[in-house]
Amino acid sequence: MDKIFSTRVDESTIHKIAMISKELRISKKAVIEEAIALYIQKRQEGKEVDALKKTLGAWHRSEDPDEIVKKTREVFNKSMQRHQS
């Protein structure tokens, strides 16, 4: 089902839409829909999911992994000792 979409657009843009519509012999609605589809396609091209970027830099640390494990173990062990008392 089509819905009505209303917006203010520069007059030159309206003329461009009308010209393309006449040139291609398609409706103005079809021109706008195809333009939106092409815009979305262009924006999505080359966009691959980068897991490292999605982790917000958690993967990028100055410490050595062994040092991180050591610190984590120490904190865990202290916590366990505290709860055993």
Q: Residue 36 has which token pair?
A: 């939106």
User: Does 36 fall in a domain?
Assistant: yes
Number of domains in the chain: 1
User: Does 76 fall in a domain?
Assistant: no
The SS3 call for residue 85 is: coil
pTM for the predicted model, two decimal places: 0.52
Q: Residue 9 has which token pair?
A: 């657009």
Q: What is the pLDDT of residue 40?
A: 87
* Residue pLDDT, tens place only, 32-64: 999 999 998 888 876 766 666 666 666 667 788
How far is 73 from 79, CA to CA, in rounded Å?
A: 10
* Residue pLDDT, tens place only, 3-43: 998 999 999 999 999 999 999 999 999 999 999 999 988 88
- How many C-beta neighbours within 10 Å does residue 31 have? 19
User: Does 15 fall in a domain?
Assistant: yes
- Domain housing 29: 11-44
